[in-house]
Amino acid sequence: MSAVIATSKLSKWYGNVLGLSDVTISIEPGITGLLGPNGAGKSTFFNLLTGQLKPSIGSLTIFGEPVRNNSRAFRRIGLCPEQDAFYEELSGWEFLTNLLRLQGYGPSEVAAKAEKALGIVELLADKGRVVRSYSHGMRQRLKFAQAIAHDPQVVILDEPLNGLDPLGKRKLIRLIKDFGREGRTVLVSSHVLPEIEALTADIVLLHHGKILAVGGIQNIRDLIDTHPHIIAVRSSAPRALAAHFVGEEYVLNVHFENSRDSVLFETTNRDRFFERLTRYAAEPAAAVEEVTSPDDNLQAVFDYLVGT
């Protein structure tokens, strides 16, 4: 299968600041996750992909054509930017139809495509409301609608799940997956690993403007599993909780937090730890109130990969 998006030694500097460095990559149809902490270069990469920035060095093609100043390429791309980009005083319908007109469709086609896109994102009932009155989730879905309304082959979604509640996330994840299943090329960025995990198994890891890793998400999970995890458990009986685990060989460290009734466990086997914790929490005297994983995020993986 040939690459839809291909970059070669793609680099971008903002003055002395490095935005993206030496990125050579091929992206095929389906969903690809672009992962990286804030400032990793994800948005720069997307801005280069959509022709809004000129590469300092290197080349970039979509369907074999350069993107910048190429209106033919833009007809096949849909962009959902990270930031809100709405005219608050327009209705969702007006916002979408105005953007569709820029694609060159006639009035009847504009109406049909807007209707279809709003239907997909379940906003038809609210199409007449001004964007100002939309909830955050509705705004995200409207942004997604404008990215897919003109039926693009390549969809670029910059942090589309940011700030959504769990239900909103689930809805949008389903929409993105549906779109990917249709054989289109969907590129999704996020700094939250589980979000990407819910969408795709193919990821590109960016860090400090460079590609850190490319591959299946399982590889990344493996990295997490071979690296000690920190799990915080809050309980009204923290010492009893600690005593319960201290004898386990997969628990490397136990640390009491003074300010809260929390115990920090460092473990090499998260699955076994949780299995044991679940059984313990079911006991009447356990009093487990909250379980969090402070390092179960992308930053921790990056820290591990870059050796910090």
Partner 1 sequence: MPIAERGYIHWDGELLERRRPWLPITRQGIRLAFKRKYFKFSFFVSLVPAFGFLVGIYAAEKIQDFKLKIEGVSTILQVNPGFFRAYFAGDFLLFMMLMLMVLSGAGLIADELRHNALQLYFARPLTKKDYFMGKAAILVFFLSLVTVVPGLVFIICKLIFSGSFRFLADYPWIGLSVIGFSALVTAFFSFYTLMISSVSKNRRYTAILLFTIYIFSDVLFGIFYASFRNPYFALLSIKANLQQVGAAFFNVKAPYAVSWIYSLAVLLTLCAVSAFILHKRVKGVEVIK
Which residues of this chain interact with partner 1, rule CB under 8 A?
1, 14-15, 17, 25-30, 32, 47, 50-53, 69, 71-72, 74-79, 81, 83-88, 98-99, 101-105, 146, 150-153, 181-184, 202, 204, 214-216
Between 214 and 232, whose beta carbon lies closer to partner 1? 214
Contact 228, 268 (CB under 8 A): yes
Where do runs of H (alpha helix) occur along the chain? 42-49, 71-74, 92-102, 107-120, 136-148, 166-181, 193-197, 217-225, 238-245, 270-281, 298-306
DSSP letter for each residue of 224-258: HHTS-EEEEEEESSHHHHHHHHTT-TTEEEEEEET
State in angstroms the smallest separation of the CB of 214 from partner 1.
5
Between 97 and 235, whose beta carbon lies closer to partner 1? 97
3-class DSSP state of 305: helix
Between 102 and 246, whose beta carbon lies closer to partner 1? 102
State in angstroms the smallest separation of the CB of 87 from partner 1.
5
Contact 202, 1 (CB under 8 A): no
Would you tell me how many other CB atoms lie within 10 Å of the CB of residue 37?
17
State in angstroms the smallest separation of the CB of 257 from partner 1.
38
State in angstroms the smallest separation of the CB of 197 from partner 1.
16
CA 89 – CA 133 distance, rounded (Å): 9
* Per-residue burial over 79-108, b = 16 or more CB atoms within 10 Å of its CB, e = otherwise: bbbeeeebeeeebbbbbbbebbeebebeee
The token duo for 40 is: 């990793």
Between 92 and 152, whose beta carbon lies closer to partner 1? 152
State in angstroms the smallest separation of the CB of 124 from partner 1.
21
Strand partners, 234: 262, 290
Between 61 and 269, whose beta carbon lies closer to partner 1? 61
State in angstroms the smallest separation of the CB of 264 from partner 1.
36
Would you tell me how many other CB atoms lie within 10 Å of the CB of residue 270?
18
Between 240 and 305, whose beta carbon lies closer to partner 1? 305
Between 31 and 286, whose beta carbon lies closer to partner 1? 31
State in angstroms the smallest separation of the CB of 238 from partner 1.
45
Closest residue by Cα to residue 121 from 164, 88, 183, 89: 164
